[in-house]
Homo-oligomer: A and B are copies of this chain.
Amino acid sequence: MVTVVPLGLKPALDRVAADVDRYFDHLLALPDDARRPLYEAMRHATIGGGKRMRPLLVCAACDIFHVDRLRAMRVSLAIECIHVYSLIHDDLPCMDDDDLRRGRPTVHKAFDEATAVLAGDALHALAFETLADPETHPDPFVRVELVAELAKASGPAGMAGGQMMDLAAEKETFDLPTVTRLQQLKTGALIGFCLEAGAIMGHVAQEGRTRLRGYARDIGLAFQIADDLLDVEGDTGATGKAVGKDAAAGKATLVSLLGPKRARQQAELLVDQAVAHLSSFGPEADLLRAIADYVVARDR
């Protein structure tokens, strides 16, 4: 599939990544008291790493509706706060017990477990503080809607619920619909919010919102399959984290249930479907189209 990328995905990604780093550097200025290690741990986890896929999605969705870049960046920061807090807690010894993340020591390795728990908690609160600030949007209704949707996407009916299902997946073998639902909660809900946020800030009517949700659902799942494929086929050097963990844990994934070949086909189908949801948008949605393709191509 050939997609027109007027801005180019690489420059867009690089710009978003640089902006996210710069904003976090500002937001997490080191305090001159005993809270310092907490901020150092938060900085370690947020600055200078990660694909910044979620901020890119926010900015791409905001571009469609000509939402101010500063506002898009503040929502991006909030989402990264949630995403990163979940990674910090996920990496803990009692969870996935990972030593490496984004090619660097995980927070509990670089600091200690207690600091890792608190750094995750602090980023969690910071996400909502960031959204609720008038700098994010002058309209309180928009701000509180962003808060409501992010809280739903990350709470027990969203990401945290999906993580619980993921723990259960180590003990019982889930079927395809259950693993699909697990992934939709664990990673899909937050990706859905990235697109939803653009629609909320752009005051988009219901139909446009439904299309963006469809796009998010499809690329979310494709993204997860690509991640699972990396876990099976990737190497630590390329991914910056330990590989083969799901298989070692005997966990059913979309890839283990479908097999790598059908899983890849499924991911490509999902990408086509995702792009089809954007058919009513013009070239202003080209960045979203390019991202959809990138999702399945990024590890090859």
Residues in A lying within 8 Å of B, measured CB to CB: 31, 33-35, 37-39, 42, 85-86, 89, 92, 94-95, 112-115, 117-118, 120-122, 124-126, 128-129, 131-133, 140-141, 143-145, 147-148, 150-152, 154-156, 158, 160-161, 163-165, 167-169, 172, 174, 178, 181-182, 185
Q: State whether B122 touches A95 (Cβ < 8 A).
A: no
19 contacts across the A-B interface (CB closer than 8 A): A34-B165, A34-B169, A34-B182, A35-B164, A38-B156, A89-B118, A94-B113, A94-B114, A94-B117, A95-B117, A114-B167, A115-B164, A118-B167, A121-B124, A122-B160, A126-B155, A132-B144, A132-B147, A140-B145
B132, B133, B161, B174: which contacts A35 (Cβ < 8 A)? B161
A120 to chain B, nearest CB (A): 8
How far is A148 from B181 in the complex, measured between Cα atoms in Å?
32
B89, B122, B152, B182: which contacts A156 (Cβ < 8 A)? B122
Extra contacts, 17 of them, besides A33-B165, A33-B181, A125-B154 (Cβ < 8 A), are: A34-B172, A35-B161, A35-B164, A38-B156, A95-B114, A117-B117, A118-B163, A118-B164, A122-B161, A125-B155, A125-B158, A132-B145, A132-B147, A132-B148, A133-B148, A140-B140, A144-B144
How far is A213 from B19 in the complex, measured between Cα atoms in Å?
37
DSSP majority for the A interface? Answer: helix
B151, B160, B168: which contacts A128 (Cβ < 8 A)? B151
How far is A126 from B154 in the complex, measured between Cα atoms in Å?
9
How far is A140 from B165 in the complex, measured between Cα atoms in Å?
34
Q: State whether B165 touches A35 (Cβ < 8 A).
A: yes
Q: State whether B129 touches A38 (Cβ < 8 A).
A: no
How far is A178 from B35 in the complex, measured between Cα atoms in Å?
11
How far is A161 from B128 in the complex, measured between Cα atoms in Å?
16
What are the residues of chain B within 8 A of A95 when measuring CB–CB?
114, 117
